[in-house]
Amino acid sequence: MTVGEVREKVERHGARAVARDAVAAIAEKDAKVGAFLEVFDDVQAQADAVDRRLAAGERLPLAGVPIALKDNILVRGKRVSAASRMLEGYVAPYDAHVVRRLKEAGAVLIGRTNCDEFAMGSSTEYSAFGPTKNPHDPSRVPGGSSGGSAAAVAAGMVPLALGSDTGGSIRQPASFCGVVGLKPTYGAVSRYGLIAMGSSLDVIGPFAATVADVALLYRTIAGHDPCDSTSLPPEGHPSRAHHERTHPLRIGVPRDLLGEGMDSRVAQVFEEALAALARRGHEVVDIALPAARHALAVYYIIMPAEASTNLARYDGVRYGLHVEGADLWEDYLRTRQEGFGPEVKRRILLGTYVLSAGYYDAYYRKAQKVRRAIRREFAAAFATVDVIATPTAPTPPFRLGEKRDPLSMYLADVFTVPANIAGIPALSLPMGSVEEGGASLPLGMQCMAAHRNEEVLFHIGEELEAHHAASR
Ligand code: GLN
């Protein structure tokens, strides 16, 4: 389902009819998938308001287009929980910047999608409200943490969805579900109204079935916001940014990164996709990114450090859950004990450890140094290539319950984490599939580009799409 198709339907039948069909499609399909935590009760009223704006002659780029939001993005007056008991029943007091942009553009906010608790995880199994299933094979995970958003688009319930990406949470589920997902440049999209995980890494980004729709949604939500101190300055707004669509493209493949842990079928489909791009006239070259090998280790120091700090605010007094103890101290302890799930507690422990006196220099400060080296390494690489390509994930979607050991779950992000460490944009798009157990399991290719060069990603994405369309 594309935005163009939906907009045509809105023109013929009105936003009200489109919204009604979207809610019906979710009612029919989501029983098997479990992508949604809530379908909003005012969908029809939102659609009616869009119809009135259209009748008044307003031009709305997303008129009546249904969109799903990950359960860590605030919509004024709606519940938001980050899929955690800690925030069960919490109602958002204001709109996220991206939500304001969506409302202005005439989109219809359909509901909240499931995710790993506080966006920590790669399978959506760490949600306090039960897992989401992969629409291509319900015995498998949709990826995570934005698994609900990816699955909702993949199952054809909505044409658009938003997720957030701290270490891969948009790209890896996009890969597992066979849809397109973009992690924008850090700061290109405001974090105002996003429940914070790792504040120097977090970014909100789009999911859709096509590259063009991902680009459209990205342009709707990107731009400067004075409410986010790390928001990029106004000249970075996509409509004014200089658009670099060099053709043919020079595509760098970091062979040294791709060695360990990669499923051989993923490697084969990746090579085929590269060969297809080469046949379309693009140049594929090997590059080396020796520092990026350390990105996962750096990530698992910086992210828990920031997450443990961000999660300190959930004390049972100011937000959501409150568990009464004998005194204030015991209130804190019992609330945090009962409110947070095991993975969140693990990250708080890791983060508190690496920030503690005596370990700060050995871990946190050192990780920041390596982070700077990784940034420099990417900047240097983009002086010689337009795009860096890897598979999005080392494996096809895995089975529910398969990764019991936290470290094996962390390894699902080896290819996606470097872009967050460097702050650069990265796109995941379908590159093929593997057959297993009677199901066709999607695989994604990740393309990374230089700071703020989302345009080149849309270009290579459309090239790969054109190849798939031609070979169909
Ligand atoms: N899977 C990674 C983690 O668990 C990334 C999460 C994310 O990007 N929000 O930290």
Mean pLDDT of the chain: 96
147-199 pLDDT, tens digit per residue, is: 999 999 999 999 999 999 999 999 999 999 999 999 999 999 999 999 999 99
The answer to whether residue 236 scores a pLDDT higher than 80 is no
pLDDT interval class at 239 (50, 70, 90): very low
- Residue 145 known to be catalytic: yes
**pLDDT above 70 covers what percent of the chain?**
98
Q: Is 168's C-beta closer than 6 angstroms to any atom of ligand 1?
A: yes
Confidence band (pLDDT; 50, 70, 90) for 238?
low
For residues 121 and 135, give the distance between their C-alpha atoms in angstroms, rounded to a whole number: 19
Q: Which whole-number Å values give the CA distances from 188 to 113, 431, 452, 461, in the listed order?
A: 23, 26, 8, 19
Whole-structure pTM value:
0.97
Indicate the number of domains in the chain. 1
- For residues 164 and 19, give the distance between their C-alpha atoms in angstroms, rounded to a whole number: 24
| Residue 304, beta-bridge partner list | none
Residue 386, ligand 1, Cβ within 6 A: no
Q: pLDDT at residue 421 above 90?
A: yes
Identify the burial level of 250 via C-beta atoms within 10 angstroms of its C-beta, where 0-12 means exposed, 13-18 middle and 19 or more buried: middle
177-216 burial by CB neighbour count: b if 16+ within 10 A, else e? bbbbbbbbbbbbbbbbbbbbbbbbbbbbbbbbbbbbbbbb
Q: Which of 70, 78, 183, 403 is catalytic?
A: 70
- Decide if 68 is inside a domain: yes
Tell whether 179 is covered by a domain.
yes
> Catalytic residue at 164?
no
Among 145, 175, 190, 231, the active-site one is 145
Q: Does position 427 have pLDDT exceeding 50, yes or no?
A: yes
Q: Which ligand 1 atom minimizes the distance to the CA of 300?
A: 10
| 435 found inside a domain | yes
- 147-154 and 15-33 helices, crossing angle to 10°: 110
Residue 232 lies in a domain: no
Statement: residue 240 has pLDDT above 50: no
Q: Is the CB of 147 under 6 A from ligand 1?
A: no
- The minimum-distance atom of ligand 1 relative to the CA of 169 is 8
What's the CATH number where 330 sits? 3.90.1300.10
Give per-residue pLDDT as tens, 15-43: 999 999 999 999 999 999 999 999 999 99
- Interval 460-472 mean pLDDT: 94
Percent residues over pLDDT 90 in the chain: 92
Q: Is residue 128 scored above 60 in pLDDT? A: yes
Comparing 238 with 58, the larger pLDDT belongs to: 58
**Segment (H or E) for 450:** none
**Is the per-residue pLDDT at 241 higher than 70?**
no
Let me know if 470 is exposed, middle or buried by CB neighbors in 10 A (0-12, 13-18, 19+): exposed
pLDDT of amino acid 261:
82
The rounded Å distance from CA 182 to ligand 1 centre is 15
Q: Which two tokens stand for residue 249?
A: 């493209």
Residue 238 lies in a domain: no
CB of residue 167 inside a 6 A radius of ligand 1: yes
pLDDT in tens, 336-386: 999 999 999 999 999 999 999 889 999 999 999 999 999 999 999 999 999
Residue 45, pLDDT score? 98
Number of other CB atoms surrounding residue 175 within 10 Å: 33
Q: Which atom of ligand 1 is nearest to the CA of 121?
A: 4
CA of 144 to the centre of ligand 1 (A): 7
Each residue's pLDDT tens digit, 298-332: 999 999 999 999 999 999 998 889 999 999 999 99
Q: What is the mean pLDDT of residues 412-425?
A: 97
For ligand 1, pick from 84, 122, 348 the residue to mutate: most ligand atoms within 8 Å of CB.
122
Any ligand 1 atom below 6 A from CB of 169: yes
The reply to whether omega before 248 is within 30° of 0 (cis) is yes
CA atoms within 13 A on the CB side of 35: 36
- Asked if the structure places residue 239 within a domain, the reply is no
In a domain, 262, yes or no: yes
DSSP per residue, 331-400: HHHHHHHHHS-HHHHHHHHHHHHHHSTTTIIIIIIHHHHHHHHHHHHHHHHTTT-SEEEEESSSSSPPBT
Confirm or reject: Cβ of 413 under 6 Å from ligand 1.
yes
**Could you give the strand order of the β-sheet that contains 426-436, starting from the edge strand earlier in sequence?**
36-39, 108-113, 66-70, 160-165, 203-208, 180-183, 426-436, 439-448, 387-391, 250-254, 283-287
CB 121 near ligand 1, within 6 Å: yes
- Using pLDDT thresholds of 50, 70 and 90, give the confidence band for residue 246: confident
The 3-state DSSP class for residue 256 equals helix
Alpha carbon distance 57, 225 (integer Å): 28
pLDDT band of residue 243 (cuts 50, 70, 90) is low
Is 237 inside a domain boundary? no
Domain span at 298: 1-227+244-472
Helices (H) and strands (E) in the chain, counts: 15, 11
DSSP 214: H
* Predicted pLDDT of residue 297: 96
From the CB of 303, is ligand 1 less than 6 Å away? yes
Q: List the catalytic residue out of 169, 175, 190, 308.
A: 169
Is 169 noted as a catalytic residue in this protein?
yes
Q: Is 122 in the pocket of ligand 1 (CB under 6 A)?
A: yes
**What is the CA(70)–ligand 1 centre distance, in A?**
14
Rg over CA atoms, the chain: 21
